[in-house]
Amino acid sequence: MLNAKRTYLRSVAALALGLGALGVPRAALAQDAQAESGFALQASLAARFGILATIDTGSSSPTPINGTAFQAGLSAGYKTGRLYLGLGLEFNNFTFNDSRIMNPGNLVISTTTRVSDFLIGPDVQFAILRSTDNRVELIADVALHFGHRFSSVSISPSPPPGPSVPTDSNFLLSYRLGPGVRYWAHKHFAFQATTGFGGSAFFDLPAEGHIADGNNSSHGIYAAFGGMGVF
């Protein structure tokens, strides 16, 4: 009888250890799928397809609005659990060409406008849902950036020099809001894609004695692809 009890207890213990061994890989896999916290870096390329635009109707020479905007972004911050908080940098670049025939003499005037935008502001992402192995996440992506537009204009043939005038300044605002998917290919590195609604607004800040000229905004659907590293 005593030997039978010992054999039974050994069988139960073996079964328990076996079931525990089966559960360990899944728990370890979920735990090792991604770094739960640490310093994080993100990089992305994005495109925004404009569906709505506004422009100052009183503007005599408004800044052109491009229907499709391409953007490059960097972000540095901290990831803890499902939440990422960071400071993002956004870069945009556009070139516009315009040619007009001036009478008399049918003189062709070509104008090239080069525009570069630089913005900075907070980025927030949150993992709404996770797969059982923690490798795939449905995320919410929110950003609000502020910045400045740098522009230069070249005219051919060059006009004669005129009197110097005060230089206006400007203010830029951009935003984005939407869902996305993140896939952890390694514990410290993930690929992600986001989409949603975003836009930008340009505000002219005229020099003293000047009238605001060129205020405009553009809004539409954006799509972004990039990666995240957590260290």
* Domains of the chain by start residue, with CATH: 33-230 (2.40.160.20)
Average confidence (pLDDT) over 171-194: 96
Average confidence (pLDDT) over 144-153: 88
pLDDT category of residue 62 using cuts at 50, 70 and 90:
very low
- Of residues 25 and 176, more confidence is placed in 176
- Of residues 45 and 66, more confidence is placed in 45
Burial of 90 (0-12, 13-18, 19+ CB in 10 A): buried
Nearest-angstrom CA–CA distance, 107 and 134? 65
User: What global pTM score does this model have?
Assistant: 0.74
Nearest-angstrom CA–CA distance, 184 and 49? 28
